[in-house]
């Protein structure tokens, strides 16, 4: 792989390599794609307040997360249909994460079994993701297998009782077979039953799923203080503030806008991770300044995977870490504030 210098270039290369189906699946959101857009835009409503001449030339950007020692406060969020991006799929994702000194959450909607993914890099294969979706027994079997295989944490996605209304993929006349590409961890029947979305999950069921695996579990897809409190009350070891990259409830708040209330509610008790719209080191800085322990990246990791397999994933993570380190040095600390809003009225008043 010819190394790409920026995430934007990784994205361009991925777009040049992927067909229309894969692109619709990767870049699309749900409904009018408002939440998808807000995820990135919302970072622009913060300013970073720099402190200069601190005497610190190299701020420490390492991170401890549920006992994991990471080289950066950045990890790979789970994404499905991995094999449409690269033949090595999540095997390459966990290898790339480990290469960069961090970890990945492996999606259960994979073209590789969870055992195959773990074997590719036990260090990178930190957490296995299951959704609170479909029959409880099916999810529990996958979660137990993950624990037996050596995953160190379970990520329970709670914002997907059924897949969102994704127009780009609905309009796709000839979508790739999701069953083929994403059911390595479930038989075809289990896969169909899960997608029917006929099971109404509760927090008690989520807690039972976490307990069945016997692993520390995270609730992914929390956007309010009340849901964060419910997750922790039911035993979550961490909370992931996420709107699924704008792919589930359109109109849900941007992840960064939901972060402060979640941190205020549970941040003193459990680590809070955030994903959604992280594209630059300054986004990482804003998230950490607002109380996140770490951030997750979804689409950027898939761009790296497409552009260069494991090395591409590692490169995306390393670029983001380097940009974050530069931002930390330039900022001299972790202080952000809402961006001051100037109104026409005040501009006109200033003119007299």
Ligand X SMILES: Cc1cc2nc3c(=O)[nH]c(=O)nc-3n(C[C@H](O)[C@H](O)[C@H](O)COP(=O)(O)O)c2cc1C
- If binding is defined by CB under 6 A, does position 102 make contact with ligand X? no
User: How many Å apart are CA 224 and CA 4, to the nearest integer?
Assistant: 37
- If binding is defined by CB under 6 A, does position 242 make contact with ligand X? yes
- If binding is defined by CB under 6 A, does position 248 make contact with ligand X? no
Residue 234 falls in the annotated catalytic set: no
Please identify which of the residues 90, 234, 244, 280 carries the catalytic annotation: 244
CB 238 to ligand X: min, Å: 14
DSSP state of 163: -
Q: Which long-range contacts (CB under 8 A, 24 or more apart) does 339-347 make?
A: 339/44, 339/45, 339/46, 339/47, 340/47
Largest Cα span, the chain: 72
- If binding is defined by CB under 6 A, does position 35 make contact with ligand X? no
- If binding is defined by CB under 6 A, does position 39 make contact with ligand X? yes
Q: Would you say 95 or 248 has its CB closer to ligand X? A: 248
For ligand X, the binding residues in 250-289 under the rule CB under 6 A are: 275-278
- If binding is defined by CB under 6 A, does position 86 make contact with ligand X? no
Whether the Cβ atoms of residue 97 and residue 171 lie closer than 8 Å to each other? no
- If binding is defined by CB under 6 A, does position 185 make contact with ligand X? no
User: How many Å apart are CA 333 and CA 351, to the nearest integer?
Assistant: 36
| Residue from 7, 18, 24, 26 binding ligand X (CB under 6 A) | 26
Choices 202-210, 231-239, 241-249, 281-289 (CB under 6 A): range interacting with ligand X: 241-249
Q: Is 31 left (phi over 0), alpha (psi -120 to 50) or beta?
A: left
CB 122 to ligand X: min, Å: 21
Q: How far from the centroid of its chain's Cα atoms is residue 34's Cα?
A: 18
Task: Tokens for 81, please give them.
Answer: 């249909």
**Binding flags for ligand X, 197-236, as an x/- string (CB under 6 A):** -----------------------x----------------
The sign of the dihedral angle between the CA atoms of 277, 98, 330, 304 is negative
CB 173 to ligand X: min, Å: 19
- If binding is defined by CB under 6 A, does position 77 make contact with ligand X? yes
CB 136 to ligand X: min, Å: 17
- If binding is defined by CB under 6 A, does position 124 make contact with ligand X? no
CB 55 to ligand X: min, Å: 34
The sign of the dihedral angle between the CA atoms of 178, 180, 183, 184 is negative
| Residue from 31, 73, 78, 267 binding ligand X (CB under 6 A) | 78
Residues ≥6 apart with Cβ < 8 Å to 352: none
Beta strand residue intervals within 191-331, DSSP E:
217-222, 238-241, 272-275, 294-297
Q: How many residues bind ligand X (CB under 6 A)?
A: 24
User: How many Å apart are CA 258 and CA 155, to the nearest integer?
Assistant: 19
Catalytic residue numbers, as ranges: 244
For ligand X, the binding residues (CB under 6 A) are: 25-26, 39, 77-80, 107, 109, 129, 157, 220, 242, 244-245, 247, 275-278, 297-299, 302
């Amino acid at each position: 792989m010819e190394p790409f210098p920026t995430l934007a270039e990784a994205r361009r290369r991925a777009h040049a390599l992927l067909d229309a189906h894969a692109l619709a699946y990767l870049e699309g959101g749900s409904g009018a794609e408002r939440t998808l857009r807000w995820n990135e835009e919302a970072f622009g409503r913060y300013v970073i307040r720099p402190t200069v001449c601190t005497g610190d030339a190299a701020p420490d950007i390492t991170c401890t997360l549920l006992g994991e020692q990471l080289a950066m406060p950045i990890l790979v969020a789970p994404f499905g249909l991995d094999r449409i991006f690269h033949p090595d799929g999540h095997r390459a994702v966990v290898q790339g994460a480990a290469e960069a000194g961090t970890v990945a959450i492996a999606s259960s909607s994979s073209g590789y079994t969870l055992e195959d993914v773990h074997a590719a890099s036990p260090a990178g294969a930190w957490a296995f993701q299951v959704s609170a979706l479909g029959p409880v027994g099916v999810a529990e079997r996958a979660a137990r297998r993950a624990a037996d295989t050596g995953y160190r944490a379970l990520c329970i996605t709670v914002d997907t009782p059924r897949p969102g209304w994704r127009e780009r993929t609905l309009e796709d006349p000839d979508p790739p077979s999701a069953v083929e590409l994403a059911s390595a961890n479930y038989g075809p029947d289990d896969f169909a039953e899960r997608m029917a979305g006929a099971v109404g999950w509760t927090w008690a069921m989520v807690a039972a799923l976490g307990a069945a695996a016997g692993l520390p579990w995270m609730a992914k897809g929390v956007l309010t203080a009340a849901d964060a409190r419910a997750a922790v009350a039911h035993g979550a070891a961490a909370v992931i503030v996420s709107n699924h990259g704008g792919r589930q409830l359109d109109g849900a708040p941007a992840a960064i806008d939901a972060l402060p209330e979640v941190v205020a509610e549970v941040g003193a008790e459990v680590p809070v991770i955030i994903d959604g719209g992280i594209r630059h080191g300054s986004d990482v800085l804003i998230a950490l300044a607002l109380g996140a322990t770490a951030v997750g990246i979804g689409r950027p990791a898939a761009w790296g995977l497409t552009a260069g397999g494991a090395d591409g994933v590692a490169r995306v993570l390393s670029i983001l870490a380097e940009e974050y380190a530069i931002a930390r040095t330039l900022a001299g600390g972790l202080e952000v504030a809402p961006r001051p809003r100037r109104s026409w009225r005040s501009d006109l008043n200033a003119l007299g």
